[in-house]
Structure 1
């Protein structure tokens, strides 16, 4: 029988914790290479996926479930009701229909900017660092030039030179992508410089592999978590940047986005008239979508920085150890009265033997 004295409780806790860890490892299947590149499911990641998934589904299928967002009616600034779930604008347009089409437009700009900015940063960062020499110096100089110039004023200047009738989704996406790739390229360059000197990359070069194959097969898989994190951040920055441009009148003139909704709400004096249903929904969608992508980005950071995952695992093990310690403490408290009763019974038996003698 195990002795549950206070002196032995820490060792029992340590043994129980070690047994629990061994059982977890024994029942856990080894992860494949691609599975190790995916973030571990956590409550924060689940919340982020739910938010991003819900808003994405609303932007994709919402326009098919609502009416014409440009239809003008003779009921202006109607609060939310059964006929119009999010009310109407100053000219009687359905806010819910506008929100569905605006969400789709903002998602399109976010994806376009994310893909373009990630492609530019990967080319100038990874290819330049792998080639080295003049190419690396030229790409680094170009990156430094874009880093020195403030991003928002540069976007405003470039958008201001584009004619209003030519400012569509693609134009705004190209402007935002061109002005947002430099910082990511510097990060990828530093990561590539540390990877290109490893043994397996040198072995691929010696075996006569082509440069593009070495980059795609040997270097790029090691940088996928960093690239994924940069893509998520680029999408967030693109949606916020487009909303800022549209709010000051430099956004896409022939497309509906969340920024254009805020722009028209400002021009229609929605805040001063108390029409909260006109400007709160687009702002709330931007905030929730940005929060969801940020939570996903935090989970991706665990792959980039293993210390974060180890810290979370240590906290989980500490909670298990504390739970085991509480259970052992309750078990020891329950066993102590029984031990005292046994000792008392032994004393009584000894007293009877003495009296009998």
Structure 2
């Protein structure tokens, strides 16, 4: 988990400081397709732009889309899954039907179709499209967990004592779902980052946005692979992979801390290891 936090913190710092320290990452600063050197640590693009500068500045746009879309998708999943299951009745049936319909539609093709038919492009469009198409999986699991908690003794006791429904959900239900909520959020962020990169790579995102996906798009359009300019497309691809790995490590660490079953399993294993 510590490694994941450190790696993610590096990219977050780059996302915050990068646009300030490098106001114009598209500036022509060197020769065309110069390989990595002391002057240009990650080489240059076909137009003579610094790849390092573009990677640093593009961190902001990529992380904004990833975390914003992940947060919205998680909130929608909470409202639909937890709210519907706890309220029950027709509302739950309708929300469950909508969730099942969204689940049977492949997310990535749906995102591509929607993005291709939208005139507006940019961060906001990507965030909304990705969030609206990626909440159903989390909502389905949250609904199942909430249904099992709704009939437990402490929830029944809260109802008998006259507690309001919203307070029961906030105080009694959500804390017990915290591990899965965090896990759902993290994987939604990873999905959003990968999806945005995929949309940009196939030309369905605004080319003026500074993102790692757009870097891959321009490298592919300029035939960087066939010309051997690996330093143009490897850094943004590696950055996406590192962020995804960091978030996965953080998720595993948080799960072992929050999940009581995993904590108990770790405690029972430790004496055996010490005894040996």
TM-score, normalising length: structure 2: 0.94
CA distance in 1, matches of 2:3, 2:186: 16
CA distance in 1, matches of 2:75, 2:241: 26
SS of residue paired to 1:82: coil
Whether the aligned pair in 1 keeps the contact of 2:30 and 2:50 (CA below 8 Å) is no
Cα drift, residue 74 of structure 1:
6.1
Which of 184, 191, 196 aligns to 1:242? It is 196
- In the alignment, what sits opposite 1:336? none
Whether the aligned pair in 1 keeps the contact of 2:130 and 2:192 (CA below 8 Å) is yes
Moved more, 202-211 or 89-98: 202-211
Which of 236, 249, 254 aligns to 1:282? It is 236
Are residues 147 and 171 of structure 1, via their aligned partners in 2, closer, same or farther at CA, if it must alter by over 3 Å? same
Which of 31, 45, 56 aligns to 1:75? It is 31
- In the alignment, what sits opposite 1:349? none
TM-score, normalising length: structure 1: 0.74
CA distance in 2, matches of 1:208, 1:248: 55
Which of 127, 144, 154 aligns to 2:110? It is 154
Runs of 4+ in 1 over 3 A off after TM superposition: 303-315
Cα drift, residue 313 of structure 1:
3.2
Whether the aligned pair in 2 keeps the contact of 1:69 and 1:97 (CA below 8 Å) is yes
CA radius of gyration, larger in: 1
Are residues 309 and 133 of structure 1, via their aligned partners in 2, closer, same or farther at CA, if it must alter by over 3 Å? same
- In the alignment, what sits opposite 1:51? 7
Which of 139, 142, 152 aligns to 2:98? It is 142
Which of 111, 121, 137 aligns to 1:167? It is 121
Whether the aligned pair in 2 keeps the contact of 1:167 and 1:254 (CA below 8 Å) is no
- In the alignment, what sits opposite 1:22? none
RMSD: 1.6
Are residues 145 and 154 of structure 1, via their aligned partners in 2, closer, same or farther at CA, if it must alter by over 3 Å? same
Say whether residues 1:88 and 2:50 are aligned partners. no
- In the alignment, what sits opposite 1:342? none
Which of 147, 165, 186 aligns to 1:211? It is 165
Cα drift, residue 67 of structure 1:
4.8
Which of 154, 164, 174 aligns to 1:220? It is 174
Moved more, 60-69 or 152-161: 60-69
1:32-81 deviation per Cα after TM superposition (whole angstroms, max 9, x unaligned): xxxxxxxxxxxxx1111111111211222122223511223562111222
Say whether residues 1:106 and 2:62 are aligned partners. yes
CA distance in 2, matches of 1:306, 1:159: 41
1:79-116 deviation per Cα after TM superposition (whole angstroms, max 9, x unaligned): 22233222211001111111112111110001111110
CA distance in 2, matches of 1:301, 1:90: 44
- In the alignment, what sits opposite 2:205? 251
Cα drift, residue 307 of structure 1:
4.1
- Counterparts of 1:1-357 in structure 2 under 5 Å? 45-73=1-29, 75-163=31-119, 166-302=120-256, 306-322=260-276
Are residues 100 and 280 of structure 1, via their aligned partners in 2, closer, same or farther at CA, if it must alter by over 3 Å? same
Moved more, 151-160 or 304-313: 304-313
Whether the aligned pair in 2 keeps the contact of 1:258 and 1:283 (CA below 8 Å) is yes
Are residues 259 and 201 of structure 1, via their aligned partners in 2, closer, same or farther at CA, if it must alter by over 3 Å? same
Cα drift, residue 275 of structure 1:
1.2
Are residues 50 and 160 of structure 1, via their aligned partners in 2, closer, same or farther at CA, if it must alter by over 3 Å? same
CA distance in 1, matches of 2:235, 2:180: 32
Moved more, 131-140 or 214-223: 214-223
SS of residue paired to 2:203: coil
Cα drift, residue 303 of structure 1:
5.0
What is the aligned length?
276
